[in-house]
Amino acid sequence: MLWPVTVLGAAAGWALASIPGALLGGLLGQVLDRRLRLHDWHALRERLGGRHAAIDDELLFVMLGRLAKSGGRVVPSHIQQARSEMQRMGLDDVAQRRAIDAFARGKTGRDNLRAPLQRQRERAEALLRACWRMAWVDGRVAPSEHELIRLWGKWLGWDAARVERLGEEYAPKRSQQPTSAGGSYQEALRLLGVTADAEPEVIKRAYRRLLSRHHPDKLVGSGASPERIREATEITRQLQQAYALIRQRRGLR
């Protein structure tokens, strides 16, 4: 890893005050590199050019924000899916705020994702799975979402067929219709196993417990069939939509 501002600071310090200047300049440069997350010269060029370099876990939420907005409008199910990803990753409050900012930034479409994705090939499957979950959250994948995921898969080193096979694991079963966010409030309560007068924390705990139990990520790498993963994905989608409906009806945050 090369810290560009550290190098520049050390060089400038050397020119001004020899070894003491180089040490001080390098130290100050490293502080800036870490604060701005400038891991290489490419990141510095993006920062100087007015574009934020998408890195680390923030990269995922930039991608999710762009996917959600690609159809023209971000809907509540997109927001809920982003929250589910934060919970799945176990992000603390500070990391969640960064993820929310990254999601909002992704909606603008200004980040150049090609270079960051090419540096994340070891995380390709995890990133693409999260993208497919976001794309399928409303029961269908828009052409713009499909195009983005295929492009990102290419930058991550995957061929189109492999990307498509991964997406099929999250497609809803054709014999069932996903629960609509505008569906029965009583059905949503039943699905989460709570009553209409349940406290908000009780509802939240029930949702998180069920989400953890049925999340398809638990089946990845376990030898489960694509059919079983699709079933788990469908249950997870219904839980998310039910929780979103209850939160909307009850005015919960």
**Mind giving me the DSSP string for 169-224?**
TTSPPTTS-PPPTTS-HHHHHHHHT--TT--HHHHHHHHHHHHHHH-GGGGTTTT-
- Identify whether the C-beta of residue 138 lies closer than 8 Å to the C-beta of residue 179: no
Q: Given this model, what pLDDT does residue 106 score?
A: 94
**pLDDT tens-digit map of 241-252:** 888 888 888 877
The number of beta carbons lying within 10 Å of the beta carbon of residue 166 is 19
**Locate tokens 């190098």: which residue?**
7
Q: Is the pLDDT of residue 149 over 60?
A: yes
Q: How far apart are CA 232 and CA 216, in angstroms?
A: 5
Percent of the chain past pLDDT 90, that is, above it, reads 23
Q: How far apart are CA 50 and CA 110, in angstroms?
A: 9
The amino acid occupying position 168 is: E
Question: Both tokens of residue 49?
Answer: 């050019």
Q: Given this model, what pLDDT does residue 162 score?
A: 92
157: confidence class by pLDDT, cuts 50, 70, 90:
very high
75: which DSSP letter?
A: -
DSSP state letters, 156-176: TT--HHHHHHHHHTTSPPTTS
* Range in 31-35, 183-187, 190-194, 248-252 the model is least confident about: 31-35
